[in-house]
């Protein structure tokens, strides 16, 4: 029993050491680096056929918005709502350049965790929803149906993706409200050895089932832009 406890302690200390070394190296190499904007606001279409759109802050007040921005520490971000009569859908895309933010930190800010901690309840989930943008297939998304606290408002259908160096981050097959210690250790070792990569986190949400929007030209234009950011399935070699 004592040996097992000491081994677990050793693993924890080693993981923290690797993470600390990686963070220190990033700071030493990036002490003068400031946020790099990649113009997501212009890359993602604001005017699409049949829809109006507005960019919204991440917090209801300037203070909360600043706190959220400091916590997420992204290089660039778009939080946009598209409306068409009674229909609407929201698009959130955040970007981190290599070394800006540890992968595990970005991976901890999913709807599974953040929405649940704010009283939302996940009523249904799928782990590999795959949409099409024109003739291009998108990488599998995490699909969720969330109910707001105390039924305050409409349920929300949610899709989200997390790209690390152009590849989907592996969240496993379950609900990601709590980080898996083994997965945290795995990622700490993997990214300490591999080095840092750029990251995107993409979320689409709507009170309407998103499948009902797939045939809409405006919604397709948004999906096409996301495919261009790296969400499209890469063509097969020699294909």
7-42 per-position pLDDT tens digit: 333 333 344 444 444 444 444 344 334 556 778 999
Of 122-136, 175-189, 210-224, the poorest mean pLDDT is in 175-189
1 pLDDT exceeds 50?
A: no
* CA trace torsion 113, 114, 120, 123 (10° rounding): -40
In whole angstroms, what is the distance from residue 229 CA to residue 94 CA?
A: 11
What pLDDT is stored for residue 151 in this prediction? 73
What is the C-alpha separation between 37 and 26, in angstroms, rounded? Answer: 19
Contact status, residue 110 vs residue 203, Cβ threshold 8 Å: no
Mind listing the pLDDT tens digit for each residue in 47-82?
A: 999 999 999 988 765 656 677 878 899 999 999 999
H or E segment to which residue 164 belongs: strand 156-164
**3-class secondary-structure state, position 102:** coil
Q: What is the dihedral of CA 33, 34, 38, 42, to 10 degrees?
A: -170
Give the per-residue pLDDT at 30.
45
Query: What domains can you pick out in the chain, each with its CATH number?
Result: 35-231 (3.40.1000)
Torsion of CA 93, 97, 101, 106, to 10 degrees: 30
The percent of residues in the chain predicted with pLDDT above 90, rounded, is: 59
- Could you tell me what percent of the chain has a pLDDT over 70? 80
- State mean pLDDT over 203-211: 96
Least confidently predicted of 15-29, 92-106, 214-228: 15-29
DSSP bridge pairs for 138:
232
């Amino acid at each position: 029993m004592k040996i097992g406890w000491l081994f677990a302690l050793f693993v924890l200390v080693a993981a923290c050491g690797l993470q600390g070394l990686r963070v220190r190296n990033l700071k030493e190499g990036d002490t003068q680096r400031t946020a790099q904007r990649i113009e997501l606001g212009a890359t993602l279409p604001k005017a699409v056929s049949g829809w109006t759109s507005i960019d919204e802050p991440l917090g209801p007040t300037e203070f909360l918005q600043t706190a959220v921005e400091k916590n997420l520490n992204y290089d660039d971000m778009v939080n946009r709502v598209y409306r068409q009569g009674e229909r609407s859908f929201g698009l959130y895309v955040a970007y981190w350049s290599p070394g800006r933010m540890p992968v595990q930190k970005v991976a901890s800010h999913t709807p599974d965790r953040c929405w649940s901690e704010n009283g939302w309840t996940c009523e249904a989930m799928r782990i590999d929803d795959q949409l099409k943008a024109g003739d291009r297939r998108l990488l599998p998304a995490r699909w969720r149906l969330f109910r707001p606290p105390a039924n305050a408002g409409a349920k929300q259908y949610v899709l989200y993706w997390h790209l690390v160096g152009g590849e989907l981050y592996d969240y496993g097959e379950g609900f990601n409200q709590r980080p898996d210690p083994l997965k945290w250790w795995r990622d700490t070792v993997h990214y300490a050895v591999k080095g840092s990569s750029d990251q995107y986190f993409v979320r689409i949400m709507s009170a309407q089932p998103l499948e009902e929007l797939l045939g809409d030209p405006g919604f397709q234009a948004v999906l096409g832009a996301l495919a261009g950011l790296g969400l499209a399935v890469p063509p097969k070699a020699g294909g």
